[in-house]
């Protein structure tokens, strides 16, 4: 299934036959232009892929447990170590076992059902045709040319709206500060406190989580896909160990926690190599969207009995 439409859509690779049929159809119905595909054709296409999946379950049983990992090359270590020293990164992973390493791409367990090819092309535009080790670690750590995209902000009706082409846009934190610590702004009146809301992106490094013998790719699918299409078989990633039961609940992605048996126990879970297998993928036009965050102040004044 390949459909080409004019502007407003991004060509996207979608896995088929691996996840349940309702999930596949829901993706098409919710993200593609209306009436792009017929239900009967979608069902037949999914069934054909499902037959291939059943064969792979027999032929590749246990392959996810054989994933290879290697030491990070010397020329990548300086930048990788620097990333770990970032305060926000230290706050996120300092309490759990983690390290940079090279992991085998094809045997990574995946839970994301699609890859946006427009996003992949944007990534490849900032890479040379034969990326050096330095370029690759910059990509993996979102450094240099691969830093976060622009965020636009508008103000109206007592609220603020932030927008970005990246779906990683998010509210990061809220804190109370001494107003004297804020430069380049003088409020009306004598300020005693300032409430600061932080908006931006996560520490967007390529990240994977180990659970037993398996490694689940948790962030950076599009960057890994770009490198895989350039012929790379290993990728640098920050590997976090969630093998211990007491930490797995907050380290594993929600999708994996909701179906542990499928991702962590079945003989042949979804693997990164499936994104490259034409028998298990289809290309569809997905409606292009912009991520938007809205913030509105709700200040209320009242009187209470004095203590």
In total, how many domains does the chain have?
2
pLDDT at 146: 62
Q: Would you say residue 124 lies in a domain?
A: yes
pLDDT of residue 121: 93
Residue 193 sits in the same domain as residue 76: no
- Picking from 163, 182, 198, the residue at the C-terminal end of a domain is 198
- Same domain assignment for residues 245 and 164: no
- CATH number for position 216: 3.90.1530.10
**240: part of which helix (H) or strand (E)?**
strand 234-241
Q: Would you say residue 3 lies in a domain?
A: no
Does residue 154 contact residue 296 with C-beta atoms inside 8 Å? Answer: no
Whether 82 and 137 share a structural domain: yes
Q: Are residues 171 and 268 in the same domain?
A: no
Residue 265 and residue 156 in one domain: no
Residues 185 and 227 in one domain: no
Cα 91 to the center of its chain, rounded Å:
19
Indicate whether 80 and 137 sit together in one domain: yes
CA nearest 81: which of 70, 68, 90?
A: 90
The reply to whether 124 and 88 lie within a common domain is yes
Q: Are residues 72 and 190 in the same domain?
A: no
Q: Which of 164, 198, 232 is the last residue of a domain?
A: 198
Q: Flag whether 297 is in a domain.
A: no
User: What pLDDT does 89 receive?
Assistant: 60
Q: What is the pLDDT along the chain (307 residues), one digit of tens a residue?
A: 444 444 689 999 999 999 999 999 999 999 999 877 888 999 999 999 999 999 999 999 999 999 999 999 999 999 888 887 776 665 555 567 788 999 999 999 999 999 999 999 999 998 998 999 999 999 998 876 666 778 898 887 778 888 888 777 888 888 888 888 888 888 888 888 888 888 887 778 999 999 999 999 999 999 999 999 999 999 999 999 887 766 566 778 889 989 999 999 999 999 999 999 999 999 999 998 888 888 887 778 888 888 7
Residue 91 pLDDT:
55
Exposed e or buried b per residue across 72-111, where buried means at least 16 C-beta atoms within 10 angstroms of its C-beta: beeebeebbeebbeeeebeebbeeeebebbbbbbbbbbbb
Instruction: Kindly state whether residues 157 and 209 are assigned to the same domain.
Output: no
Note the pTM of the prediction, 2 decimals.
Answer: 0.85
List own/partner pairs for 48-52 with CB under 8 A and 24 or more apart.
48/17, 48/279, 49/16, 49/17, 49/18, 49/279, 49/280, 50/17, 50/21, 51/17, 52/17, 52/279, 52/280
Domain shared by 208 and 253, yes or no = yes
pLDDT at 202: 72
State the average pLDDT for the chain.
87
The answer to whether position 239 is within a domain reads: yes
Q: What is the extent of the structural domain holding 207?
A: 67-147+203-273
Residue 290 lies in a domain: no
Contact in structure between 181 and 188 (CB atoms under 8 Å): no
**Residue 255: both structure tokens together:** 């999708």
Please tell me the predicted confidence (pLDDT) of residue 5: 45
Q: Would 131 be classed as within a structural domain? A: yes
Residue 3's pLDDT is: 43
Could you report the per-residue pLDDT of 186-208, keeping only the tens digit for each?
888 888 888 888 888 777 899 99
The answer on 212 and 143 residing in a single domain is yes
Rounded CA-CA distance 56/280 in Å is 11
Q: What is the pLDDT of residue 197?
A: 86
| Residue 216 located in a structural domain | yes
First to last CA, the chain: 71
In a domain, residue 219? The reply is yes
């Amino acid at each position: 299934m390949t459909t080409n439409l004019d502007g407003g859509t991004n060509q996207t690779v979608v896995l088929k036959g691996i996840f349940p049929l309702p999930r596949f159809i829901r993706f098409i119905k919710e993200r593609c232009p209306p009436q792009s595909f017929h239900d009967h054709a979608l069902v037949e296409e999914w069934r054909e892929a499902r037959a291939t999946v059943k064969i792979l379950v027999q032929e590749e049983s246990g392959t996810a447990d054989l994933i290879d990992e290697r030491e990070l090359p010397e020329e990548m270590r300086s930048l990788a170590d620097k990333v770990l020293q970032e305060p926000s990164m230290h706050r996120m992973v300092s309490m759990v076992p983690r390290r940079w390493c090279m992991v085998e791409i094809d045997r990574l367990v995946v839970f994301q059902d699609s890859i946006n090819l427009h996003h992949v092309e944007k990534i490849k535009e900032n890479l040379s045709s034969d990326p050096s080790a330095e370029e690759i670690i910059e990509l993996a750590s979102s450094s240099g040319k691969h830093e976060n995209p622009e965020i636009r902000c508008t103000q109206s009706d007592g609220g603020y709206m932030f927008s970005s082409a990246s779906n990683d846009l998010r509210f990061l934190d809220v804190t109370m500060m001494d107003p004297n610590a804020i430069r380049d702004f003088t409020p009306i009146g004598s300020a005693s406190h300032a409430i600061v809301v932080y908006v931006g992106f996560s520490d967007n490094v390529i990240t994977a989580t180990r659970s037993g013998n398996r490694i689940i790719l948790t962030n950076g699918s599009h960057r890994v896909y770009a490198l895989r299409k350039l012929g790379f078989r290993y990728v640098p990633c920050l590997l976090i160990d969630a093998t211990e039961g007491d930490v797995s609940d907050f380290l594993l992605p929600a999708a994996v926690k909701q179906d542990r048996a499928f991702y962590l126990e079945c003989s042949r879970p979804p693997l990164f190599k499936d994104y490259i297998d034409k028998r298990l993928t289809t290309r569809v036009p997905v409606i292009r969207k912009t991520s938007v965050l809205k913030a509105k102040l709700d200040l209320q004044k009242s009187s209470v009995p004095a203590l």
